[in-house]
Amino acid sequence: MSEGVDGNAMYTVVAEDLTKYFKSGSISVKAVDNVSLRLPRGKLVALRGPSGCGKSTLLNLMGALDRPDSGSLVVDGTDDAHLKGQKEVAYRRRKVGFVFQMFNLMPHLSAIENVKLPMEFGAGAKDAALRARAAALLGRVGLPADRHNRRPAKLSGGEQQRVAIARALANDPPLILADEPTANLDSKTGALIIDLLRSLRGQERTVLIATHDETIAREADVVMEMKDGRLLADGQQPERIRV
Amino acid sequence: MRTITRAITALIRSPLRAGLLVGVLAVSVGLTLIMITVDGAFATRLDDIQARVGTSITVRPAGSFGGGFFDRGGDNNSGNANSGGANGGSTNGGGNTSSASSNQLTALADQDIGKVATISHVVSVSSLMTARYTGTGLESAVQPQRRANAPAATPAAGAGGFRRAVLVTGVDDPASLATLGVQNAQLTAGRTFNADEANANVAVLGQAMADHNALKVGDTFPINDMTFEVIGTYSTGTQFGDNSVFIPLATAQTVFSRPGEIDQAIVKADATSSVDQVAADIRQALGQDNVDVTTEASLVQSISAPISDAKDSSQVGMIAALVASAVIILFSVGLVARQRLKEIGILKAIGASSWHVIGQFGVETAVISLIAALVGALATFPLAQRVANGLISTPSTAGFGGPGGGGRGGPAAAAAATRVGGLLGSIDVAVSPEVFLYALAIAIGLALLATLVPAWYVARVKPAEVLRNE
């Protein structure tokens, strides 16, 4: 891909020949195999594929939770592939928001405290301001105010996922990465969560959902498909595959 | 502040786990603090004892154990040497007064004292001679218990027909009763000898002896055909201590027919640091095989051995408890960190730096350590004294001599034992507020140590790995 970082203003993510191996003893498995893609800003993108095809690994690379073995990855103008130390931390804090299949909320914190948590890691705004913003985010994802001070164990699965989405939005990142966000929810709640994620996309924010659920793919603006670590629709032509 | 709040919230989410950890840690930290406190009390007491060690050196003929009440020598009453047993504490009564010869195997002579006096760092040399008197002129205030079916004793003899010997000590330095090994003695009436009374027939009696024989200052009593005037009485507060008679040395040598003989010499060095050198010089001057030279320091060392042993035990206990504390918190925090790998991964995934996570774990361990240290410190107050009492066995100073030079070590040993004896019976452990400073230091140390474990985990945890394995 010839465009530089500055030349990709219309894409939130630009990946080129991204490769990631996993080693287990003497066996080396190519989890992500020369993936090149571009994710346009303001779109809901579905990354579809069977379990073990490399979707989560690709999301982890985009979220700087893991590092590629080769290739380049630029997210919102930042070279994600070679981040270290505080730059890596700042990237995770500012550029991406994660929504996990298992919600991964802090069990000892209330809903509002969970949402506030990523904001607390940044430079210090006053606690009241953070709390107000967290409450606003919870309101935006549709969690009733009387649930704000409940701990995750006292919330339903759908409510927990709403809290997780609000947490992902806490630092207003340009990229939301959702890894099987409805896998632990019933279909009705799952549909509500997808609607919520869909509503989050905007002019500056891209939402990437890894899923093997056909119904989610139908809701996406762009659908990409992975198999055996390779991207079948290579992302060179976004919106080419419109289900 | 937010980190502290988060850490405390994380702690109280599992109150049982936190409580158990605090409890176990409090026991080991408390034990550490108790041992520190007890060790400090022991050290203070040993310092006190060392400070009271004098510069006296006792010189005796080799192999003798003083002219003491329980140890050597026979009695010096009925004319010729009639009792030469080495262990005759009491002899058959009825002996009459006459001159007596010494039963001592060897004795120091005046010229020996002269040699000692010329040794450098020697400040003074005082000599004494001790004899046991079982004549009728004086009767011991301490008499053997009479058996129920024993025949009635004669008036002159003690119960059961035995007469307890009276210890008579001749001294050439009577200015202070301290030189006699009766440091705690107080004159109750009269005076001690003066320089003009080196050959006078005068005596200072223990109060018990005086009372038992109905003697008071100005009265007279006989010993071996010589009449002595009581010029003073003293009291030590103990029956044995007050059961002695002191007379001038030259008079004693005459009345007991031991001209020029000296049982013991008490040498004073000019400083504590000179004592060992002076003792060595005395051995060289008089012959290593001819004399037993004993310093107070060596005696005090053996007397205070129980405290030294207890101090060693407390130090070992302190180290063991400290190590146990470290192991407990390292192991516990290690387990907790392993259980919370996913939490660490999530925190890093949502933007926490390693320092944020380490800080949270650090605060958690600090809170646990502080609470445990506080509990441990509070436990120190009621328990330190008990632990000290349990560690130290009450030593005995018996056998280190008594007034008049009886027993191992003679008067100098007796004086040393008297001086330190009161310090050995029990150790008062005063728990000072400093214990909270120690507790704080331990808590900080443990927290820092324990934070290494989560720091190690945090540094190694890759969010993708721990979240992939969920």
Instruction: Tell me the per-residue pLDDT of B192-214, one tens digit each, with 9 for 90 and over.
Output: 888 788 889 999 998 889 998 99
Which residue of B13, B349, B351 is in closest CB contact with A108? B13
For residues B20-43, one letter each, b for 16 or more C-beta atoms within 10 angstroms of the residue's C-beta and e for the rest, the string is ebbebbbbbbbbbbbbbbbbbbbe
Q: For residue range B348-405, list pLDDT tens digits in order.
A: 888 888 888 888 888 888 888 888 888 888 887 788 777 777 776 554 444 444 444 4
Q: What confidence score (pLDDT) does residue B105 get?
A: 42
The CA distance from A195 to A192, in Å, is 5
Say if residues A97 and A173 touch (Cβ distance below 8 Å). yes
- The CB density around residue B284, as the number of other CB atoms within 10 Å, is 11
* CA within 13 Å, CB half, B272: 9
Residue in B2, B12, B464 nearest the CB of A65: B464
Segment B211-269, tens digit of pLDDT: 989 999 999 999 988 899 999 998 887 777 788 889 998 899 899 888 888 888 888 88
- Say whether pLDDT at B65 is over 70: no
B147 pLDDT band (50/70/90 cuts)?
low
Lowest mean pLDDT across A20-24, B124-128, B187-191, B333-337: B333-337
- Please say if the pLDDT value at position B318 is more than 70: yes
Reply yes or no on whether the pLDDT at A28 is more than 90.
no
Question: Taking every pair of C-alpha atoms in chain A, what is the biggest distance, in angstroms?
Answer: 53
Q: Which residues 330-389 on chain B approach chain A with CB closer than 8 angstroms?
A: 342-343, 346-354, 356
Q: What's the pLDDT score for residue B176?
A: 60
For chain B, the average pLDDT equals 75
Q: What residue of B is the nearest CA neighbor of A94?
A: B351
Specify burial of residue A223 (Cβ count, 10 A radius: 0-12, 13-18, 19+): buried
B35-39, B294-298, B412-416, B426-430: the lowest-pLDDT one: B412-416
Name the percent of chain B lying above pLDDT 90. Answer: 7
What residues in B contact A127, CB-CB < 8 Å? 2
Residue in A56, A108, A118 closest to B10 by CB = A108
Q: Are B8 and B367 in contact (CB under 8 A)?
A: yes
The C-alpha angle B262, B263, B266, rounded to 5 degrees, equals 90
Band (B159; pLDDT cuts 50, 70, 90): very low
Asked if the model's pLDDT at residue B52 lies above 80, the reply is: no
Over residues B167-180, the mean pLDDT reads 73
Residue B150 has pLDDT above 70, yes or no: no
Please indicate whether residue B78 or residue B295 has the higher confidence score (pLDDT): B295
Within 8 A of B467 by CB-CB distance, chain A residues are: 60, 65, 100, 104
Q: How far apart are CA B153 and CA B139, in angstroms?
A: 14
Residue B219 has a pLDDT of 93
Contact: A60, B468; criterion CB under 8 Å: yes
The more confident residue out of A201 and A98 is A98
Helix intervals (H) in B228-353: 249-255, 275-286, 296-303, 305-339, 341-349
Sequential DSSP letters for B100-169: -----S--EEHHHHHHHHTSTTEEEEEEEEEEEE-SSS---SS-PPPPTTPPPPPTTS-GGGEEEPEEEE
**pLDDT tens-digit series, residues B404-452:** 444 444 555 555 555 555 555 566 777 777 778 888 888 888 878 877 8
| A110 — pLDDT class (breaks 50, 70, 90) | very high
**In which band, very low, low, confident or very high, does the pLDDT at B145 lie, cut at 50, 70 and 90?**
low
Interface test with A, best of B350, B354, B361 (most A CBs within 10 A): B350
Q: Return all residues near A123 (Cβ < 8 A) that are at least 6 apart.
A: none
Return the minimum-mean-pLDDT range out of A216-220, B150-154, B204-208. B150-154
CB-neighbour burial class of residue A153 (10 A; exposed 0-12, middle 13-18, buried 19+) = exposed
pLDDT at A111 > cutoff 90: yes
At residue A239, the pLDDT reads 46
Q: What is the mean pLDDT of residues A65-74?
A: 89
Say how many CA atoms lie within 13 Å of B172 toward its Cβ. Answer: 19
Q: Report which of residues B73 and A184 the model is more confident about.
A: A184
Chain A contacts in chain B segment 12-31 (CB below 8 A):
12-13
Q: Which two tokens stand for residue B132?
A: 């046991």
The pLDDT assigned to B334 comes to 82
**Residue range B79-132, pLDDT digits in tens:** 333 333 333 333 333 333 333 334 444 678 878 888 898 999 998 888 888 888
- Taking 90 as the threshold, does the pLDDT of residue B321 lie above it? no
Half-sphere exposure (Cβ direction) of B2: Cα atoms closer than 13 Å: 21
What local confidence, expressed as pLDDT, does residue B228 receive? 92
pLDDT at residue B407 in the model:
46
Average pLDDT, chain A: 84
